[in-house]
Structure formats: C-alpha cells, structure tokens
Amino acid sequence: MVDPVRFLIHGASGRMGQALLRLCTERAVECIVVAAVSRKPVQRVVDGVPQFAASELAGVPAFDVAIDFSLPEGFDPLLALCRQRGAALVSGTTGLSDSQRQALTDAAADIPVLWAANFSLGVAVLEELVERAAAALAGWDCDIVETHHVHKKDAPSGTALALGTAVGWGGATARYASLRAGDVVGEHLVQFTGIGERIELVHRATSRDVFARGALHAASRLKGREAGIWRLRDLL
Ligand code: NAD
C-alpha cells in the first residue's frame, strides 16, 4: 500500500483553507494533514489536526507538500521552510510581489513548486480559448472584467492577470476592470469587441471546491517529483 501524502495546509482558517481541510477528510486514505497554519489559530487541535500560528511555523512536523492559500505576507517564511525541509510547495496565493515570484523561481532549483492563479479546469481551458481568440481577432479591443466577493484584497485578480498573459501570447493587449460585490466566488469575462460585433467568453465559479480539488489533486501528484517549476496542466 502507498503511504498517504502528508500535507501542511497554510492559510487553514481562511475560505480556501477550510475547503481544503474538509476535502482532505474525504480523502483520508490518500492524504493526511499533519499541520494547519493560520495567522492566529484559536484552538490547538481541530478535528484531530494540530493547529499552528504563523509565528510557530518552524515547529511544524514533517510534511511532503505544503498547500498555500494565504496572503502574500505569509509567503516568504513558508517558502523558506519548504526549501529547508526539502518539501514541495503548491501555492494559489495571489498578489505576490515580483521579488516573491523571483524567490519562487529560485527555490525551484531545490524543490518542486507549483503556483497557479486559478486551480479550476474551466479556467485552464479558458486561457487556451482567449489565446486563440486574441490571435484570430487582430485590431479588436480586449477587456477582462473580473468580479469577486468584497473580502478579496488584490485587484485585478491573479486569474485576470493570467488571462491577460494568455491574451498577450495571442498578440493582443488586455485592459482590466475589477468589481467587488457580495459573496461572488469568482467570475471572469473576457470580451473581444470589433466594429459591429462582440465575443464574450465567461467563466463562473460557484464553489471554492473547484479550486481546492484542483490544488489537492496537483499536490498529491507533486510528491516525489524532481525540483523545478511545475504547471497545473502537467499534473491534472
Ligand atoms: P482568507 O482571507 O479567507 O484566508 C486567508 C488565510 O491566510 C487565513 O487562514 C489567515 O489566517 C492566513 N494568513 C494571513 N496572514 C498569514 C500569515 N502571515 N501567515 C500565515 N497565514 C496567514 O482568504 P481566501 O479567500 O481563503 O484566499 C486566500 C488566497 O488564495 C488569496 O490570495 C486568494 O486570492 C487566493 N485564491 C486563489 C485561488 C486559486 O485558484 N489560485 C482560488 C481562491 C483564492
């Protein structure tokens, strides 16, 4: 029998962290959560999972893969820990600075890393579609409108920026607009506008579970891989 993958969940008290913890309990044969890290946890153990504060990160038990959905301020210590322990890192935290992105690239010399702005299969397909549309529609305007819940801190969203990169690969330049409203999980509209006609490509996420499932799936497959930068499409 194969040993279960040992996960560290970073950002465990958050919306994504809670979804990850719930889904991990449904897959207890394949994976175990050895530590849950939040900025300041209120309990030491929840449902059998030891809880750690960000300031206690150095004391977490051995893990194979860290799954990080937190905030940029928690990213540097986690990356350093993964490097020190020789563990893999899967991160969906958005709003990372250029120097944090560079540090992630540097760490890939030692450990397997995967960062994705969006862990849903639908957005992976949308990226391919917008690249094709941008390549076919020279001279058309391209606008990306993203809508998220009112608690989201960064704007434009990481997914909007990733879609903009795909538009760039197709040879066009995107403009961005961001809406923060209610409890919207995540919507991305990529609109191509010509003279007298318009194409709208939309992705709507209605549950955080799509991101959590994608991240868990990728994290399970990252264990034991060679050091380097991995893409979601390599592991899905
Ligand atoms: P949230 O605000 O609900 O949760 C944030 C979590 O991070 C909390 O547990 C908090 O305690 C923890 N945290 C804050 N500062 C910390 C620190 N210094 N050290 C350790 N932990 C710290 O946020 P959320 O909605 O769960 O989203 C988390 C991140 O994931 C955001 O960056 C969001 O944009 C991103 N996200 C990415 C995807 C994707 O598919 N890539 C999907 C959804 C959300």
Mean pLDDT within 53-74: 98
Catalytic: which of 148, 188, 217, 223? 148
Point out the ligand 1 atom lying closest to the alpha carbon of residue 70.
7
Q: Which domains does the chain have, with CATH numbers?
A: 5-115+210-235 (3.40.50.720), 121-205 (3.30.360.10)
pLDDT exceeds cutoff 80 at 175: yes
* Mean residue pLDDT across the chain: 96
List the beta strands (DSSP E) in the chain.
Answer: 5-10, 31-38, 45-46, 49-53, 65-68, 88-91, 112-115, 141-148, 174-180, 186-193, 198-205, 228-229
**C-alpha to C-alpha distance for 174 and 141, rounded to whole angstroms:** 8
Report the alpha-carbon distance of residue 211 to residue 213 in Å, rounded: 6
Q: What percent of the chain is modeled with pLDDT above 90?
A: 93
Count other Cβ atoms within 10 Å, centred on residue 23.
Answer: 17
**CB neighbour burial string for 186-198, b if at least 16 within 10 angstroms, e if fewer:** bbbbbbbeeeeee
pLDDT of residue 206: 96
Has residue 1 got a pLDDT over 90? no
Whether the CB of 211 sits within 6 Å of ligand 1 = yes
Q: What are the pLDDT digits (tens) for 144-157?
A: 999 999 999 999 99
54 CB less than 6 Å from ligand 1?
yes
- The predicted structure's pLDDT at residue 191: 98
Q: Is 117 in the pocket of ligand 1 (CB under 6 A)?
A: yes
Q: How confident is the model at residue 235 (pLDDT cuts 50, 70, 90)?
A: confident
pTM given for the model? 0.91
Q: Are 217 and 235 in contact (CB under 8 A)?
A: yes
